[in-house]
């Protein structure tokens, strides 16, 4: 099978690319390298340095004729989405619509979409959030990802698109960018390894559902066989506070500094963790990597980058 993966030079997307190639699939990567890195692109993949909003995307479809799209490309910075919601919508909504139109026009009817479970539900009414939880995003990023979910439903109804939506929690692991606004594990780990001050935004009592990247990859592989128009949460169902994360990472890195607290950031949910029972029952998926082990692997990757 030939898979076109958008965002395939990025943190999560590049790991999915590696797994697809290992399974014997032909992989085409589209990435504008705004946050991805060309060195993360598997050399066995065919790479197009291209924005998903570009008219040239149609030429990639014309030339490659993929069987399946795996759509990971997105503007995923919550804080910038608050500061510049137009840009966020331009990339996430209009870019996705360009992709969907290319798929429709070139007869590609299968798609996996990487959505967000961390931002789409807003402040939870109950925890852990399942897929039936009310959708009340409190940041433009969450709004844009929900909008694309709605467009997928429309394309499924109108054009027969076979798709699956995977809603991600806070994913962490090797290749995560420690210089961006997102990715608290990568940011904390690198600063601790360098002996630099670590800043926690807000009280540190915020809770997140941390999922190791290899488990996300496995969900993507399983979803290829369940393009049923369904939405699946991924996650552990357990919230970990940022203060607890700081303590574990400090212990593993030998960091002796005290936590420093800055102001909370607008648009960020205070506590969120996800019920992934539906994925367990219908995709036969469950997380395999415990947080302690995943953090150890991530720290090793920063100590010994490849």
Q: Which active-site residues does the annotation give? A: 141
CA 145 centroid distance within chain: 11
CA 38 centroid distance within chain: 18
Which one, of 101, 91, 116, lies nearest residue 69 by Cα? 101
Distances (CA, A) of 16 to 19, 176, 256: 5, 14, 36
Burial 251-279 (b: 16+ CB within 10 A, else e): ebbebeeebeeeeeeebbbeebbbbbebb
Q: H or E stretch including 152?
A: helix 140-159
Nearest-5° Cα angle at 75, 72 to 97: 65
Dist CA 10 CA 96 (whole Å): 17
Contact between residue 269 and residue 138 where contact means Cβ atoms under 8 Å apart: yes
Dist CA 261 CA 283 (whole Å): 40
| Local structure of 16: helix, strand or coil | helix
Strands annotated E in the chain: 2-6, 26-31, 46-49, 68-71, 110-116, 162-168, 170-172, 199-201, 207-208, 210-212, 231-233, 240-241, 260-262
């Amino acid at each position: 099978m030939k898979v076109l993966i958008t965002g395939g030079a990025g943190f999560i997307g590049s790991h999915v690319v590696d797994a697809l190639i290992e399974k014997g699939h032909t992989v085409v990567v589209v990435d504008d390298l705004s946050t991805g890195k060309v060195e993360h692109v598997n050399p066995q993949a065919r790479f197009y340095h291209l924005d998903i909003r570009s008219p040239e995307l149609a030429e990639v479809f014309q030339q490659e004729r993929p069987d399946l799209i795996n759509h990971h490309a997105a503007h995923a910075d919550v804080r910038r989405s608050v500061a510049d919601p137009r840009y966020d919508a331009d990339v996430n909504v209009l870019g996705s619509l360009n992709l969907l139109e290319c798929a429709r026009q070139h007869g590609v009817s299968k798609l996996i979409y990487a959505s967000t479970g961390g931002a789409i539900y807003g402040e939870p009414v109950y925890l852990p959030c399942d897929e039936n939880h009310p959708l009340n995003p409190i940041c433009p990023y969450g709004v844009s990802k929900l909008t694309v979910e709605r467009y997928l439903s429309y394309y499924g109804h109108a054009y027969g698109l076979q798709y699956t939506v995977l809603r991600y929690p806070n994913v962490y692991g090797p290749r995560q960018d420690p210089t961006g606004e997102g990715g608290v594990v990568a940011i904390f780990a690198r600063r601790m390894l360098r002996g630099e001050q670590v800043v926690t935004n807000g009280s540190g009592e915020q809770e997140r559902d941390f999922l190791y990247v290899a488990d996300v990859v496995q969900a993507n592989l399983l979803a290829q066989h369940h393009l049923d128009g369904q939405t699946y949460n991924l996650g552990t169902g357990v919230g970990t506070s940022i203060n607890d994360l700081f303590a574990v990472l400090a212990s593993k890195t030998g960091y002796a500094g005290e936590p420093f607290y800055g102001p909370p950031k607008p648009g960020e949910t205070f506590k969120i963790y996800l019920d992934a029972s539906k994925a367990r029952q219908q995709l036969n998926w469950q997380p395999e990597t415990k947080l302690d082990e995943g953090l150890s692997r991530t720290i090793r990757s920063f100590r010994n980058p490849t």
